[in-house]
Structure 1
Amino acid sequence: MSAIEQSVYIGRDWIVYAGPGGFERSEMLAPCLILGPAGASLRITADGGQAVAAPALLHAASVWSAAEGNGLVILYFDPVSPAGVMVQGALRQARLLAWEAAAALLPDRGLFDALCVGRATPGSVQQWVAQCVAVLASTLAPGEVDARMIEIARRLDGEFAGRLDLAALSRAVNLSPDHVRQRFKKQVGITLSRYKAWRQVVAMLASASQLSDDSRPEQRRQAALQAGFYDEPHGYKMLRRYFGRYRALFSRPLQIVSCTDH
Structure 2
Amino acid sequence: MSTDDFIVDPLRDTEVRSHAKAQRRFLGLEEAKRVDPLALEQVPEIWTVHGIKPFKLEVVSDEEIPTDSGLTVFDGSRIVAKIPRRIRHKAFMGDGYARYTIVHELGHATLHVHKLMQGAALPRRREGNLTPSWIPKFKSAEHQAMVFGAAFLINDRSARQLTSADDVSVEAGISLAAARIYFEQVQEELARPAAAARVRRMADEARAVLSPKKPINTKAFLDALCTYCGQQKLFPVGHKFMCHACEKVYDRFQDGDDVQ
Judge same fold: TM > 0.5, yes or no: no
Structure ranking higher on relative contact order (CA contacts 8 Å, 6+ apart): 1
Alignment TM class, shorter chain as reference: under 0.3
TM-score (norm 1): 0.26
Q: Which has the larger radius of gyration?
A: 2
